Amino acid sequence: MAVSDTPNGAAFTPPPPPTPEYGITKPISLAGPTDADFNRNLELEKFLVDSGLYESDEETATRQEVLRRLDQVVKSWVKQLTRLRGYTDQMVEDANAVIFTFGSYRLGVHGPGADIDTLCVGPSYVNREEDFFMLLHNILAEMEEVTELHPVPDAHVPVMKFKFQGISIDLLYASISHLVVPEDLDISDGSVLHDVDEPTVRSLNGCRVADQILKLVPNVEHFRTALRCLKFWAKRRGVYSNVTGFLGGVNWALLVARVCQLYPNAIPSMLVTRFFRVYTQWRWPNPVMLCSIEENELGFPIWDPRRNPRDRFHIMPIITPAYPCMNSSYNVSASTLRVMMEQLRHGNRICDEIELNKAQWSALFQPYLFFEAYNNYLQVDIIAVDADDLLPWKGWIESRLRQLTLKIERDTNGILQCHPYPHEYADTLKPCAHSSFFMGLQRKEGVKGQEGQQFDIRGTVDEFRHEINMYAYWKPGMEIYVSHVRRKQLPAFVFPDGYRRTRIPRHMSHLAEKADEDATKCYSGSAERCIKRKNDTEIMDVKPSKPEKRASVSPQRLECFSPESCTSRSGGTSQMSIDCIEGVRLDGSTMKDSDSICEIKSSDSLVGSAICAERPDLQISETGGVDSTFDRQKSRSPDVQNEVSLLNQWSNLQSGCFGSCEVP
């Protein structure tokens, strides 16, 4: 260390350089790991390896080879176009395109079998509509290494999906205002956004956001391990899906990065437990931001609820750090936020037990038993003639399933809540190409219904069905059917072992069998029979031989809506009415279910769940508020109690960092 003399002859030691600060607020804690934290970290890393979350060296090499080959293909494609445009031989020689990666691969958290998000940056005279989606598409289609080629030009971010040597690729295109794209192009430089349209900005920002995240975290390797862990957790608990209204890869990355900023000296095991501790107390809709929102003379719209009225209705804003800063989680609804908050509280309880040596890491990653959680479900069956037609048809419907959730809650004034499950299922015994999605249904917690009250969602489903029918690339045989099924009527193919976990009572077996038979009626014949259903006015009509006496659930019919106008067997309007919906059974709850009585006794995991969906800020208080997970102070160590106290104080402060974003 340098030492200099002062004028009076005394030695002067310069102060150490300031510790870099990350984020828009000061960290919650600068504490480093203890011996116990190091031990838990070793156990966590071993668990991740044993769970198969890391790819082999062979697959890593294959990915690198695929990216090298793809880079060659796009360079050759641009040179071919340059020649066709009549440019000089020198221009043809200089013509270039560059491949960038983003998403999980760029962040270094991809696992075996994961796709690679890629961006091709080309010169100004190569366009997306004709050159990319037509000429490059045809080049790829003729290559033996390329399979399952599927362009999606009308997506919010236009993309071409395919497999290259068995590796799934999502390829975007951005044409920048350069005649020649340099090989060392710095995509984080704001100049790449000059003279480009908004689809191009969205395409470029996948890479720009990934690069910014890696620059804004204190320790990249700790961030990667924690993110890999929490993505695995989110998938196991059924809350990983941006398209369904939960959170996708970039959302989880931003949330984890913010926790890394708040605990800059924490190792992965600490970051995971602090992740749950922070976000069970976060005062949504206050935004998660890694840096201040930047304004620019380029004039692209940025997320700002003070100026943009639409931004005020975002209930879980997670803001991207690269200009133009946008809310990456605008798909989140009140329903999906409620589900995620319940899962975060569940994870927080497990982490408390792990820190007290009362549980192992494996307990955190137990799968969520979705088909045991509700008494009522919506089943959405998607059918096509073959697998090639099913892929785009399913993608279209899946991207709009969240609209069905919003419509149901709108038309029932939020009393009937939906839990869309982001996994698809298929019955391998059926001959038609098909896929099924499910939604859990329940009455809003704390809202009592009148005896015999029904939720009539016929019009809601019919509206959704008509919107689905607007698919521009519809072909004969593409069908969608929506049916209301009770837990005991769920098809066997949704269960891991192919059968229900609980035995169906004898008096219900004939009803369940009939429901299963009718629900798969369209699958039972050849592909031609499935196509024929397009003009078939007969719909599924399943009801008991005599009305059930139980007050909780008594579905009058199970309806299946076809893309054509839906009429009942008697020629009237189709019906989908759901009786008084019961509550949800979560971990630790007990339930009695018989013909004459339905009794639900829930654990404290349900306390305040309905309140948090409407007013997430109500779950914060010095003593834990309505979130019972913070009432158990006696079981915590003094260090954890102090940290929770600091976190409560910090949560009150952070709500003012963008105070005007509160939804009015």
Binding residues for Mg(2+): 115, 117, 170
Work out the widest C-alpha separation in the chain, in whole angstroms: 105
- Residues placed in the known binding site for ATP: 102-104, 115-117, 170, 231, 240, 249-250
Residue recorded with tokens 């008494």: 375
Yes or no: say if 611 and 618 are a contact pair by the CB < 8 Å rule: yes
Closest alpha carbon to 331 in 253, 382, 276, 400 = 400
Which are the catalytic amino acids? 104, 115, 117, 170, 231, 240
- What backbone torsions phi and psi does residue 146 show, to the nearest 5 degrees? -100, 130
User: 543-555 in b/e burial notation, b at 16+ Cβ within 10 A?
Assistant: eeeeebebebbbb
Half-sphere exposure for 645 (CA within 13 Å, toward CB): 8
Helix, strand, coil proportions of the chain in percent (round to 5)? 40, 15, 45
Give one DSSP letter per residue of 219-278, joined into a string.
-HHHHHHHHHHHHHHHHHTT-B-TTTTSB-HHHHHHHHHHHHHHSTT--HHHHHHHHHHH
Residue 471, burial from CB neighbour count under 10 angstroms (0-12, 13-18, 19+): middle
Residue 264, burial from CB neighbour count under 10 angstroms (0-12, 13-18, 19+): buried
Give one DSSP letter per residue of 356-409, joined into a string.
TTSS-HHHHTPPP-GGGT-SEEEEEEEEESSHHHHHHHHHHHHTTHHHHHHHHH
Q: Helical H runs in 520-606? A: 527-532
Report the distance separating Cα 649 and Cα 573, nearest Å.
Answer: 56
* 92 CB-near residues (< 8 Å, 6+ apart): 79, 82, 83
- Residues placed in the known binding site: 102-104, 115-117, 170, 231, 240, 249-250
Give one DSSP letter per residue of 422-485, joined into a string.
EEEE--TT-SSEEEEEEEEEEEPTT----TT--EE-HHHHHHHHHHHTT-TT--TT-EEEEEEE
Report the distance separating Cα 575 and Cα 540, nearest Å.
Answer: 11
Report the distance separating Cα 307 and Cα 328, nearest Å.
Answer: 18
Count helices and strands in the chain by DSSP H and E runs: 18, 15
Report the distance separating Cα 570 and Cα 105, nearest Å.
Answer: 56
Report the distance separating Cα 456 and Cα 347, nearest Å.
Answer: 35
Beta pairing, strands 167-175 & 159-164: antiparallel
Report the distance separating Cα 472 and Cα 493, nearest Å.
Answer: 31
Report the distance separating Cα 405 and Cα 418, nearest Å.
Answer: 6
